[in-house]
Amino acid sequence: MKSGTAQQTDFLVIGCGIAGLRAAIELAGTGAHVLVLSKTDLTESATQYAQGGIAAALSDEDKIHLHQQDTISAGAGLCNPAAVQVMVEEGPRYIQELIEWGTRFDREGTRLAFTREGAHSRSRVLHAQGDSTGREIVRALFARAHAFKTIEFLPFAFTAELLLDAQRVVGVRYIDEHRQRFGEIRAGAILLATGGLGQVYAETTNPALATGDGVAVACRAGAELSDMEFVQFHPTALYLNGAPRFLLSEALRGEGGCLRNIDLEHFMPRYHEAGDLAPRDVVCHAIVTELERTGSEFVYLDMTGLNPEKVKARFPRIYATCLEHNLDITADLISVRPAAHYAMGGVATDLDGRTTLDGLFAAGEAACTGVHGANRLASNSLLEGLVFGAHAGHAMAASVPRRTTKPARRARAAAAAPANRRKSATSEVPPEVATCIDQIRRIMWEKVGIIRSGPALSEALDELAHWERPLPDFPSRPHYEAANLRLVGELIARSALAREESRGAHYRSDFPYRLEKEECQHSCIPHGQPVGFR
């Protein structure tokens, strides 16, 4: 694979989900040139698949301090209070901004419609087109971004590594998959908004692009990571032979659905006073307990007691997708089980997205501000990306006092169109790489999953080390993704082994209790160092 001409831009944003787009808009407001990279098509991001909604204290019955309390309570004693305060206080303003930019949230008459999800004390979750909230937000953000002539987009550009100069990140090396060559982009500041890492697990609700690329490249460059052991498993992923692990939104239970075991017992009231709307970690552990107790592979999500027409109107995307697999959610019991869903940990940042490396910022799921603690409150992820994406954009602009230079070579206009859906010429996975990825995902699911133990985590680390492979002379995107998944898996397992307690999404069968409050700390992985706590 050849190298192409180096490009120069004022600011580089890697990822075009809610955090990346909001940061790019903030940066473009200063008149700077912003280049946004996407590893696949521009319309592909984790945000695009977000069903449930975006949480904010906007209704008449709600208060900001209640949203703050719910977030901290769900976080199992590990939330960063300052980050939570920023998110819940500024969230309503940024959502109003989305509405001004054309985001069409669902309404009841002229009033915004709110629903309730697990661990929320109020109905505060906004949704759009029933269960297509993320897609609608991305549509509005793209429309806003295209109003700025200084924002350009480059799809099918996979970030392979960060470029450093005297411990400052000054650019990236990327694979241009259409031209099948490497390229370099230099920038005054760079934002990692690359999304999650769910593909490290065999069972996940995440899209195929969620291979932990941002965390991996930041780690190799020397950035500090935090809370990598906290991976949230969503309680209800569709579990059918031949069907993808399609996410079944928590809002289904918020609207009245309930969980039943294989014997049709409504079991959640036995595990938590909030029943089916308990925090996600509680619901996951309850489901796993019921699976073990009954010897079943799944439990049921029951929507049959609700008005069928209301269910179809409220969840059109979920209804249509399940119907493709001959499952009518208004009449049939839905077989579900947990699947990897969201990473609370990631690249350690401050409240403005600054990492421990000069010139490098992070926002969204790739970042760790500590806002989610050990267990994310439902529908706070889009809010986090929105608020901290804006914060990162503002801080990046301030970090470079004036525009550095005009771009040496501008991305072609055709490449910037969100409607462009060309497929990558180099996306096919070589058989040996596919085998490596499958084994990594199996190891992580079996030994670093919902229930963990010291011996299993140690075995996982040994097995992951076995699958470490040097990159070939001419690596493709799948080669890098396999390496990223293996590294991210190792980081999760190392952090999980170091945390000798059970807290939030992290459960150790050999350490089933929480440490005392004064002993509760965030894990951290400084470059080249063992896992520590602070």
Active-site amino acid positions: 280
**Residues in contact with 254: Cβ distance below 8 Å, sequence separation at least 6, in sequence order:** 115, 116, 117, 118, 125, 277
Distance between CA atoms of 129 and 317, rounded to whole angstroms?
A: 9
The structure tokens 């990692």 sit at 192
Distance between CA atoms of 89 and 430, rounded to whole angstroms?
A: 48
Sheet (strand 231-238) strand order:
231-238, 334-343, 299-302, 258-260
66: helix, coil or strand? Answer: helix
Note whether 297 and 240 are within 8 A (CB). Answer: no
Beta-sheet strands, E only, within 19-144: 34-37, 54-55, 107-108, 111-112, 114-115, 125-126
Residue 138, Cα to own-chain centre: how many angstroms? 15
Q: Answer positive or negative: Cα dihedral of 145, 147, 150, 152.
A: positive
How far from 33 is each of 13, 150, 291, CA to CA, in Å? 11, 5, 53
269: helix, coil or strand? Answer: helix
CA end-to-end span of the chain, whole Å?
A: 43
Q: Backbone phi, then psi, for 529, in 5-degree steps?
A: -115, 160
Note whether 365 and 349 are within 8 A (CB). Answer: no
364: its two tokens: 């969204």
Query: To the nearest 5 percent, what fractions of the chain are helix, strand and coil?
Result: 35, 20, 45
Contacts of 435-438 with C-beta under 8 Å, sequence gap 24+, read 436/467, 436/469, 436/482, 436/486, 437/478, 437/481, 437/482, 437/485, 438/202
Distance between CA atoms of 296 and 302, rounded to whole angstroms?
A: 17
Note whether 209 and 41 are within 8 A (CB). Answer: no
**Residues in contact with 359: Cβ distance below 8 Å, sequence separation at least 6, in sequence order:** 168, 169, 170, 188, 189, 190, 399
211: its two tokens: 């291979």
